[in-house]
Structure 1
Amino acid sequence: MTLPAIGRVLLRYVLSLAVASVLIFAVMRLIPGNPARIALGTSATDAAVAQLSSQLGTDRPLLTQYFSWIGGLLTGDFGMSLSSKTNVTALIIDRAQVSLILCGVAMILSLLIAVPLGILTARRTGHADSTVVSALTQLGIAVPSFLAAIIAIAVFSVGLGWLPASGWVPPNVDFPRFVSHLVLPVAALTLVQASILTRYVRGAVLEVMTADHLRTARAIGQSPREALYRHGLRGAALPVLTVTGLQLTSLIVGAVVIEQVFLLPGLGSMLLSGVSTRDIPVVQTIVMLLVLFTLTVNLVVDVAYRLLDPRLRKATSRA
């Protein structure tokens, strides 16, 4: 990519973040009710509400509040939680570890399952094993992650008693228990993600297998397997890369539900708790961080796509 192209991509990224921040801030202020009074309760005096409003800065002009919030985001100071009266930054760092581990392990396992299965089903289209895998992936897509979580708890926790149904143990405290608590939530997320990615990998590989350059490779003596692995997989990786980026953001959304089902102390459960208590500093910060994560993933995918696809590199250089 040329420097002007990189500049355009980064400018679009920054403008998207700016627009998102304004929308998040505005929506949170449209919710009726005084956050200070909600935090203190209906029995609080007007003086106490005014004092807390002054501490939180909610009595200042909206433009001042917005830039104060943005400045805090840039410096890592996310304010104070209305419900717990603790620093939001410390809370988010503690909760983010749970969500990142959960989503990271689920995505890695999904790719490790989806890539070989997708290639296998594409190469063996029409065979019994390919048909079975396609049917299983269709079933995995049809089953929501929360339903898969409930079934897993009923079978492996309640029925067999093999794994805990809820809770979280940090890996540095007791690693075997950490793994045992992680198995079921990761499995529930992986089931859906692996099924979706397997079908996309299969479709991408099938499309590449009919491409002209693969037919040429087979015409000069290469076996179908050799032609696919030497010349086809790079082309198939481009659409899969895009879908993986999109699925990574949807995985975060799915993790919100999974954290509630398994009572995991992650960002998802913290977000829902903040919504129920109208904890504005918590809610707007978590939503902004999720938007930042989503836009950053899209930025990385966009850049990687342009670097991997020579057609886009040529188009970008001409522009």
Structure 2
Amino acid sequence: MLTGVLGRFALTLFAASVIIFALMRAVPGNPARVALGVNATEEAVAELTSQLGLDRPLPVQYWEWMSGLLRGNFGTSLSSQDITPLVIDRAQVSLILVSLAMLLALVGAIPIGTWLAQRQGTPAATVVTAATQVGIAVPSFLVGILLVALFSVQLGWLPANGWVPPERPGFIRHLIMPVVALALVQGAILTRYVRSAVLNEAGQDYIRTARSLGASRAGAIYRHGLRNAALPVLTVAGMQLTTLIIGAVVIESVFVIPGLGTMLLDAVAVRDLTTVQTLVMLLVAFTLAINLLTDIAYRLIDPRLREAA
């Protein structure tokens, strides 16, 4: 069964690479002329086109691009700069941002969602449920702008933008608002799924059996129900993590964070074909890898799927 999952992952990744390559080549215009400007001579354009390999047959271009990615060589930008070290540095920034945001969202969503399931129908639970609905409706970039207006402009507690490496002072202060902006929206979504999953498990026979043996409702849920409730939540968390990656692209622009998102937008602005297709491919590969790990984790947690395999 694991072999089949890995096979589907490889085929999907291959199909995605072909689609991305084809779409990039479908964009009208010569990227070399864009890089050199309208006043460039035909000789200069032809020379840069040859340097970038854009005059070679498409199958050759695709093979060189993919073989380079598999070797860890991400190619050369229109400015003839090796983008591999830049991608690695930017990826570390985005990984820190996305990982902390998802961790914060889960840390908040699991206890709050469980509490909502136990307090269903109470005024406090109704207010919190309504707040999560608002959180789902508000995009993360708007949350980021509101946080900047409050904590930077009005109160002056936190820096409005920028990035500080982890080893330097001020790292946490610069990271608080972008992480919270991403986590609030994802946390609101996950809270509702946790609530629904716990409510579903609370009505199962094994919970009633545990309560008949003397366990409280909360004790039965925490001791027996959360494991089963984690299965659908895990699937949703995996899907939301992919959404979080896309949201991070916008948040990096709002807070001027030098991650993959800002690098991608800058490359699009100058029509840097190699950089754009490489970054899009890396984001797609990361998204597919998350889905793969989610599928594997689901099978490890649920013994019924292991038996079926």
| 1:64 aligned partner, one-letter code | V
The partner residue of 1:67 within 58, 63, 67 is 63
Asked if the contact 1:24–1:287 (Cα under 8 Å) also holds between the matched residues in 2, the reply is yes
State TM-score, norm by structure 2.
0.97
- When structure 1 is superposed on structure 2, of 23-32 and 187-196 the one drifting more is 187-196
- 2:205 alignment counterpart: 212
CA shift, 1:313, in A, is 2.1
Rounded Cα–Cα distance in structure 2 between residues aligned with 1:171 and 1:305: 33
Rounded Cα–Cα distance in structure 2 between residues aligned with 1:306 and 1:160: 48
Asked if the contact 1:81–1:282 (Cα under 8 Å) also holds between the matched residues in 2, the reply is yes
* Structure 1: runs of 5 or more not aligned: none
Which segments of structure 1 move beyond 4 Å, counting only runs of 4 or more? none
- 1:149 alignment counterpart: 144
- 1:134 alignment counterpart: 129
Rounded Cα–Cα distance in structure 2 between residues aligned with 1:94 and 1:270: 11
1:284 counterpart SS class:
helix
What are the residue-to-residue correspondences of 1:168-187 with 2, within 5 Å? Answer: 168-172=163-167, 174-175=168-169, 177-187=170-180
Rounded Cα–Cα distance in structure 2 between residues aligned with 1:203 and 1:250: 20
Is 1:257 aligned with 2:237?
no
- 2:119 alignment counterpart: 124
CA shift, 1:315, in A, is 2.3
- 2:8 alignment counterpart: 12
The partner residue of 1:101 within 86, 89, 96 is 96
- Provide Cα deviations, 1:94-151, integer angstroms capped at 9, x if missing partner: 1112111111111111111111111111111122332222122112112111111111
1:259 counterpart SS class:
helix
The partner residue of 2:31 within 31, 35, 47 is 35
Is 1:195 aligned with 2:188?
yes
- 1:231 alignment counterpart: 224
- How many residue pairs get aligned? The number is 309
- Provide Cα deviations, 1:31-62, integer angstroms capped at 9, x if missing partner: 00111111111111111111111111111000
| 1:182 aligned partner, one-letter code | L
The partner residue of 1:79 within 75, 81, 87 is 75
| 1:32 aligned partner, one-letter code | P
- 1:266 alignment counterpart: 259
Rounded Cα–Cα distance in structure 2 between residues aligned with 1:144 and 1:7: 38
* Structure 2: runs of 5 or more not aligned: none
Q: Give identity over the alignment, percent.
A: 61
| 1:313 aligned partner, one-letter code | R
State TM-score, norm by structure 1.
0.94
Asked if the contact 1:88–1:281 (Cα under 8 Å) also holds between the matched residues in 2, the reply is no
